[in-house]
Amino acid sequence: MKIPPLVAHTAALLLAVSLLTACGQNTDTRVAPVEIGKDTSCSLDGMLLGDYPGPKAQIHYDGTPEPEFFCDTMEMFSLYLKPEQARKVKAIYVQDLDKTTWEAPTGAWIDGKAAFYVVGSKKRGAMGPTIPSFGTREGAQKFTESNGGKVYPFAEITAEMARLDGGALHDQRM
C-alpha cells in the first residue's frame, strides 16, 4: 500500500511535534514550597497566616511566580474545588501535622495531592471548621481518635466538605 506524500509528511510532522512535546514534559516543572514569613497573608481575606493555629496551604499556578497562601486548608479546598477554577495548578502544598504542631505550624510542607485529610473533626482553624492535613494515613487516623472526623485522601475531598460558611455562621463566640 502506497501512502500519499501529503499524508506521509503530515504524519512525520505530527510525530515530530509529539516527540518535542514529550521532551518538554520531561522537563522538571515542579516548584518548591515557599516558607511563611511574619507578614505572609491569606490570598482570600488578607489575614496574617502566623496569627492562627492549624495547617496552612499554598497553591502555585502556572505563569505566576508567587504562590497564593491560605490560612486554612478549608480555604484552599474551597477555592481549588470551585467549578469556575480554570487556572492551571502547578503544585499544592499543605503542612504535615505529623511533623509540625497545631498551635504554631512551621515548615513541614508536603505535596497536597499526596496528603491525607481529616474532615469533621472538632479542631478549629483560622476560619472555624477546617480539614487538617497529614503526610500519613496513620497520622490522620491517630488524630481522629482524640478529635473525631474521618480520613480522606485528596482526591476524595468534595466541594461540599470544603464549605466556608461553617465558621462565622456557627461560631457562638461572635
Sequence-distant (6+) residues with CB within 8 A of 41 are 47, 48, 49, 69
**Alpha-helix residue ranges (DSSP H) falling in the chain:** 5-25, 73-80, 137-147, 166-170
**Alpha-helix residue ranges (DSSP H) falling in 87-136:** none
CB neighbours of residue 88 within 10 Å:
8
Q: What is the pLDDT along the chain (174 residues), one digit of tens a residue?
A: 566 655 455 444 444 444 444 444 434 457 999 999 999 999 988 999 999 999 999 999 999 999 999 999 999 999 999 878 788 999 999 999 999 999 999 999 999 999 999 999 999 988 889 999 999 999 999 999 999 999 999 999 999 999 877 544 444 443
CATH number assigned to the domain covering 49-170: 3.30.70.2060
pTM of the model: 0.78
CA dist., res. 161 & res. 21, Å (int):
37
